[in-house]
Amino acid sequence: MVDRARLAENLEQVHRTIGGACERSGRCPEAVRLVAVTKTVGAEAVRALFELGQRDFGENRPRNGCGKVGALAEPEARWHFIGHLQRNKVKDVLPAFGTVHSLDSVRLARQMQRIAEEQDLQPTVLLEVNISGEASKHGIEAREAPGVADEVLQMDRLRLAGLMTMAPLVEDPEETRVHFRGLRTLRERLEHHTGEDLPELSMGMSNDYAVAIEEGATQVRVGSALFRGCIEAATEA
């Protein structure tokens, strides 16, 4: 069961936080897309969010994710794949997800190009960059980005739209600012290097999305802040 009133409150709160961060940084709220990360909740919560007007949804696992895409079955919904993607799962993921935020190797890109051609698809892709350099993180290193971007730009089925990163988990969100700024700087360097527009910066999660927006995020991936209290409250009742 989903506490819909609480979910509506949380969604409103997230929009207020987005609005506040935009105001502080002189940005337009329409330039920031909220991707609701639904990996911890079921199809009922996805449906409830859709009915509240949410249109962008993110999942990090092929099986679970594809299940929820199928369960919602609304052509207006846009699905974002945000987790590590194995090459043998590309054929399942591409038909369901219009955007893949986690492109992290040329080998994966080649497989995506091949499957997209077979299935006549044109997925939008973001390069995942391990900007903080933490050993535990997926993503290419910043210094590899120009070479990988050059290769991906040659794959005619893939629309390279920008970059994605995950900041380290820290207590104080201010500490993530340097990483978000680093991704934005890298994006500028890549645009210069490739001569292409790379407008999208997918960065910021529940703990740090306000800081990410101040640093230029165009997509924030928010899960727990949306679902806090919605699912527990219902089971207790």
For ligand PLP, which is the closer residue by CB, 25 or 224?
224
Q: Does 221 bind ligand PLP (CB under 6 A)?
A: yes
The nearest distance, CB 221 to ligand PLP, in angstroms, is 4
- Tokens 């009915």, located at residue: 51
Total residues at the site for ligand PLP (CB under 6 A)?
A: 14
Alpha-carbon distance 21 to 161, whole Å? 23
DSSP 160-212: EEEEE------SSGGGGHHHHHHHHHHHHHHHHHH-S---EEE---TTTHHHH
Residues 17-76 that bind ligand PLP (CB under 6 A): 37, 39, 60
Closest of 132, 92, 131, 128 to residue 112, by C-alpha? 92
The nearest distance, CB 217 to ligand PLP, in angstroms, is 12
Element (H, E) at 67: helix 62-72
The nearest distance, CB 104 to ligand PLP, in angstroms, is 12
CB-CB contact of 151 with 126 (8 Å): no
Among 1-9, 19-27, 107-115, 217-225, which window interacts with ligand PLP (CB under 6 A)? Answer: 217-225
> CA separation (Å) from 61 to 36, 71, 89, 125, 150?
15, 15, 10, 17, 28
The nearest distance, CB 82 to ligand PLP, in angstroms, is 4
Phi first, then psi: what are they for 103, rounded to 5°?
Answer: -75, 115
For ligand PLP, which is the closer residue by CB, 16 or 192?
16
Residues 138-157 that bind ligand PLP (CB under 6 A): none
Q: Does 223 bind ligand PLP (CB under 6 A)?
A: yes
Q: Which of 49, 69, 149, 166 binds ligand PLP (CB under 6 A)?
A: 166
Alpha-carbon distance 164 to 100, whole Å? 10
101, two tokens = 């935020």
Residues 77-96 that bind ligand PLP (CB under 6 A): 82-83
Q: Which of 36, 222, 230, 231 binds ligand PLP (CB under 6 A)?
A: 222
For ligand PLP, which is the closer residue by CB, 25 or 40?
40
DSSP code for 83: S
Q: Does 205 bind ligand PLP (CB under 6 A)?
A: yes
The nearest distance, CB 120 to ligand PLP, in angstroms, is 28
Binding site for ligand PLP (CB under 6 A): 37, 39, 60, 82-83, 166, 205-207, 221-225
